[in-house]
Amino acid sequence: MFERGGRALKLTEEDRALFERTSALLTDLEETTSAIASGGHTPRGRLRISAPLLFSQTAMGKLAAEFALKHPEVRLEVTTEDRAVDMVEEGYDLAIRVNPDPDESLVGRIFLRDRMVMVASPQVRPSSDGFPVPAVVRGLAKPVESWTVTTAAGKASITVQPSLSPSSLLMIRDAVRMGVGAARLPISLVGRDLAAGTLVNWGDVEGPEIALWALYPSRWLLNARVSAFLDHLKGSFPQETPNELANYLKV
């Protein structure tokens, strides 16, 4: 169970993981015992959450701070990561993910919905003669691409020529705001710009709806800490709409 160093002993990785899992179970047991003894269900103890990068950069800090003020007896730990995590092995109580793959070991609920739109600044206009429109795209891109959007008039195909390729959606939005070109972005990130007229909506992008899920292991009882955070998400976004997220972000 231990690795011996020069003057110290330390847990192996396997036993550190076991310690994390058993500690969480003991915390749940202590919480349940305290709740029964006090006749209440006050959330307390450690709550570990894994959240994706973009959501963490835009919303998670505010959500976590509000939750900490509301539930001072909970020690909230948030890890930012886009990778798939093993919640049981890594000791997470809750994971927030965008359109997660089905996993029978997890249960959860959608707490937000979003959709992709094609936007540009007012000085960038769709081409009427078939020439490519300058575009800001995420990651690697072809020299010329065709994007399909849906408007009130129906579907349209717009030819674009990438002129800038950042890896971050926030960087893409900054470039679009400055007039570099058109881009495909979640409407929650540009809703305030569209309302102010600083960006123009060229249409909805074809593709599946964006759904943000709060997930937890199916074989665990839903403890008071997780229940409280799920309630916090529901209270922050009661209608689960992109406009709610846009107004919450204020960025």
| Average confidence score pLDDT of the chain | 87
pLDDT value of residue 57? 93
CATH code of domain 116-205: 3.40.190.290
142 — pLDDT class (breaks 50, 70, 90): confident
Q: Do 8-112+211-244 and 116-205 agree at the fold level?
A: yes
CA atoms within 13 A on the CB side of 84: 6
pLDDT value of residue 22? 58
35 — pLDDT class (breaks 50, 70, 90): very low
One-letter amino acid at 138 equals R
Mean pLDDT (whole number) for 5-11: 51
pTM: predicted TM-score of the whole model, two decimal places = 0.80
The residue ranges of every structural domain in the chain are 8-112+211-244, 116-205
- Summarize pLDDT for 76-128 with one digit per residue, the tens: 999 999 998 999 899 999 999 999 998 888 999 999 999 999 999 999 998 77
pLDDT value of residue 18? 53
CATH code of domain 8-112+211-244: 3.40.190.10
Do 245 and 114 form a contact (C-beta atoms < 8 A)?
yes
What b-and-e string marks burial along 80-119, b requiring 16 or more CB atoms within 10 Å of the CB? eeeeebebbeebbbbbbbeeeeeeeebebeebbbbebbbb
Question: What gap in Å lies between CA 165 and CA 124, rounded to an integer?
Answer: 17
* HEC per residue, 38-104: HCCCCCCEEEEEEECHHHHHHHHHHHHHHHHHHCCCEEEEEEECCCCCCCCCCCCCEEEEECCCCCC
